Amino acid sequence: EKEILTLAVESSCDETSAAVLKGGRTVLSNIISTQIPVHQKFGGVVPEIASRKHIVNILPVVDEAVRQAGIRLQDIDQVAVTYGPGLVGALLVGVSAAKALAFSLDVPLIGVNHLEGHIFANFLSAPDLEPPFMALVVSGGHTALVDVRGYNHFHMMGQTRDDAAGEAFDKIARVMGLPYPGGPRIDALAARGNAMAIDFPQALTEKGNYEFSFSGLKSAVLNYINSEKMKGHALNQPDIAASFQRSVIEVLVGKAFQAVQETGRSTLVLAGGVAANSGLEQRLREAAEKRGVRFCYPDRILCTDNAAMIGCRGFYQSLAGGFSDLYLNAVPGLSL
Ligand code: KG4
Ligand code: ZN
C-alpha cells in the first residue's frame, strides 16, 4: 500500500517553511527560510515586512521541499497548512499558497493549528511516542499545558493570562541590548551566571492552578535593570539571565509535573521554540527521571517553527477526516 505524501506549509511568524512527509512520521524534506536577520535591526518581528518576505520566499521554498524530497509536485496526495494562531498577513501567504496548490493538484486541504503542530514535532523525534501524554508548549507567542488524550483529542489544562514565556525572554534580552531573538542569548548567558543571585517573583504558584503569568516577572526584571543602572552599577548580565531563567523554569517544571500527577500520565513532552532552552530541558529531564516519567522533546530544528511538524499534525488530522475547504481563512487568534 502506498504511503500518503503530505506537502506542508508554515508561515505564521518569521519562518517561511515547506516540508514533504511520507506517512505521518517520515520527513522527506523540511526547508526553513528564516527572516531573523531581516527583523533583527528592529529588535523584533515587523508584521508587514514578514508578510512581504513570505510572498517572496513561499514558492521557492515549496519548490525546494519537493525537489529535496525526490518527488514530483503531482505526486502530492494532500496539502497541510498553518491557518492560526499567528500574524494575520503572514498566515495569509501560506494559506493562499496552500489553497492554490490543493486546488490545482486537485487534492484535499488540511488547515492546521500551529500549537498542535508544535506538540506533534515530538512524534517526528520519538518514533514510538503515542498518546496519551502531557504536553508543555512554550513558544514566543504561547505558554500552555495540554493533555493530549488521543491523536485528535486535546484538553487545555491552562495557558498564559498575559505574556508568553518566549516573549519575556525576548523583551528582557532587548533591554539588556542583546539582538533578537533573545531566548538563545539569555540561555547562553545563564549558563555562566549564578541563578540564585537575584530573587525574581514567580506567579500563580498555588496548587491546581495551571495558568501562567509572566508579565509580573518581566516587570520585576526590567525594574531591577533600571534601578541598577540608576545606581551606576555595571549590569551582571549572566546573573540576571540565570536568575530570570530560574524563575521561568521553576514555574514551568512545577506546573508540568503537577499536571502529570493529576492526570496520571506517564509521559511528558516539551514543545515550542523555548523547548530549545538548555536549562529548561535539563531540569525537566532531571525531574522526570526522579519521578519515573518518560520525557520527550523534539530535535532542536523541530522545536522552532517548521513545516514538518505541521505536516505531521496534518497527517493525523486527515485520518480523522479533519479536512478544510477552499474557503479556509487565516485565524490569527485561533485557540486549541
Ligand atoms: O515556536 P517559536 O519558533 O515561535 C512561536 O511560535 O512563537 O518560538 C520562538 C521563541 C522566541 O521567543 C525565542 O526567543 C525562543 O522561542 N527561544 C528560546 C530559545 N531558543 C528560542 N528561548 C529560550 N531559550 C532558547 N534556547
Ligand atoms: Zn511557533
Which tens digits make up the pLDDT trace of 100-112? 999 999 999 999 9
Across 69-73, average pLDDT: 97
Please work out whether the CB of residue 273 comes within 6 Å of at least one atom of ligand 1.
Answer: yes
What are the C-alpha distances in Å from 242 to residues 120, 196, 311?
30, 8, 36
Please work out whether the CB of residue 141 comes within 6 Å of at least one atom of ligand 1.
Answer: yes
Please work out whether the CB of residue 190 comes within 6 Å of at least one atom of ligand 1.
Answer: no
* ipTM passes above 0.95: yes
pLDDT in the model for residue 1: 64
Residue nearest to atom 4 of ligand 1 (CA): 140
Count helices and strands in the chain by DSSP H and E runs: 11, 10
- Which atom of ligand 1 sits closest to the CA of residue 180? 14
Of 15, 142, 303, 304, which is best to mutate to test ligand 1, by the most ligand atoms within 8 angstroms of its C-beta? 304
CATH architecture designation of domain 132-298: 2-Layer Sandwich (3.30)
**How confident is residue 58, by pLDDT bands cut at 50, 70 and 90?**
very high
E strands in the chain = 5-10, 15-22, 26-34, 78-84, 109-113, 133-138, 143-150, 153-159, 267-271, 294-296
**How confident is residue 259, by pLDDT bands cut at 50, 70 and 90?**
very high
CB 9 within 8 A of CB 18: yes
Across 307-314, average pLDDT: 98
Q: What is the mean pLDDT of the chain?
A: 96
Across 33-40, average pLDDT: 91
Cell of 310: 505541521
Q: Which residues are part of a known binding site for Fe cation?
A: 114, 118, 305
pLDDT digits (tens, 9 = 90+) for 261-274: 999 999 999 999 99
Nearest to 173 by CA among 195, 192, 189: 189
Cell of 74: 503531482
Strands of 294-296's sheet in order across: 153-159, 143-150, 133-138, 267-271, 294-296
Domain borders along the chain are 5-119+303-319, 132-298
Cell of 97: 499558497
Please work out whether the CB of residue 84 comes within 6 Å of at least one atom of ligand 1.
Answer: no
Nearest to 131 by CA among 152, 156, 154, 151: 151
Of the ligands numbered here, which is closest to the C-alpha atom of 189? 1
**Ligand 2 centroid to 118 CA: how many Å?**
7
pLDDT digits (tens, 9 = 90+) for 159-202: 999 999 999 999 999 999 999 899 999 999 999 999 999 999 99
CATH architecture designation of domain 5-119+303-319: 2-Layer Sandwich (3.30)
Whole-angstrom Cα distance, residue 148 to residue 165? 21
pLDDT in the model for residue 244: 97
What value, to the nearest 5°, has the Cα angle with vertex 261 and ends 121 and 258? Answer: 80
Record the pTM.
0.95
Whole-angstrom Cα distance, residue 104 to residue 109? 11
